Structure 1
Amino acid sequence: MSLLNKLKIGRKVLAGDTRAANLRQQKINKFLIKYYHWLVALTMLVVLTAGYFLLIQPKYQEMRGENEMTSQELQQAYAAKQTLLGNLNQLEQSYNQIKQADKDKINAMLPAKAEVERLISELEAIVLKNGLILASLSIEPQEKAKTSTKVEIKDENSGQKLKIAEMPEGVALVKISMGIVGSDYNGLKNLLRTIENNLRLLDIDKLD
């Protein structure tokens, strides 16, 4: 075969390959044009799916966990308030069941204020009732720092000191110093006993 024939054959093969490539490109272009909208939709679906699993879902799980914790905290706070409300209702019911006479006794034992003038009159009457004379009397409300310290509790029957307890909130101490004149020893004993058994919470701390 001559060189010229070989060149012609080579040109035909090259031309055939070019036409085949052009046909394939045309088919691809037609396919892309025909299914362009579907391809765009598929691409968007893939992007959205990947974005959901990579970005949205982790953030959603995190927010969901935080919401669950907040919900649990709110439920616990609500339960605590319900318990407190129940205790307050029980306390109110118990208070309403106390007789008015007992309430008056409690108010007399622990008045809201010191009521110094009334206390002076009561002590003077107790002293005179036992045949003694009240020569002097001083009443000194104690400072808050002192009343907040521990105090001794006495047994009502034996009078012995049993334990040490904190002074309750809202309760204060008042120091009373009295000068008594008299020669009746039994009267003095009765006076001390009357003071100890007085409706008010009086405790003899020192006797000279």
Structure 2
Amino acid sequence: MKNIEDLIQKAVELQNNGLGTGQIADELNVSRETVTWLLTRSKKEIAAPAPKDISVNWSSIGKSATRLHYISLALCDMVLETLEKTNTEVDVVVGVAASGIPLASMMANELGADFALYHSRKGHDMVQPGQKGTISRNFGSVAGKNCVIVDDVITTGSTTMEVIEQLREMDAKPRVVVVLVDKKGADTIANVPIQSLVRIVRVD
């Protein structure tokens, strides 16, 4: 995406295809607030100030299994470096749907760990208070196990917090979160270390 008009066009296209605000935010790697602003702006309504956000397009990685493989190796290296400090082994790699799944499955293979899949509530616009995402029963169990959480981008940290809380409620032990890009800039979320290939910090 080269400019705001491209983002607006893509957001409208995704909405017309039936995606909700959370799903569009996932696809464009921006916050829900930014999606709302893009869709509002597309209708030429009263101009609100643009939210402070950064769009991340990593499709040049995502479209190539070879590139995904090499990126997953780099993420594995970061996981092992973090877990060496606490002498902890990886039992399960948890991929956050949808963008964390390809990296997480490759990482699980490389680390000799089980693979689990987390469905976030973020993709649904009508989320009820207290409603949580779920760990898919079709993949590895997390109960009592050391877990590595894998996603593509941290924007606000809300999805990461949701996954950590859900894992803890299932008696799992979230040990580290790894992402391609961290837009929040936090060292930890809920006392779980965050590792990213790229950390973006706004200087306003």
Please, what TM-score do these two structures have when normalized by structure 1?
0.22
Which structure carries more helix by proportion? 1
Which structure carries more strand by proportion? 2
Please, what TM-score do these two structures have when normalized by structure 2?
0.22
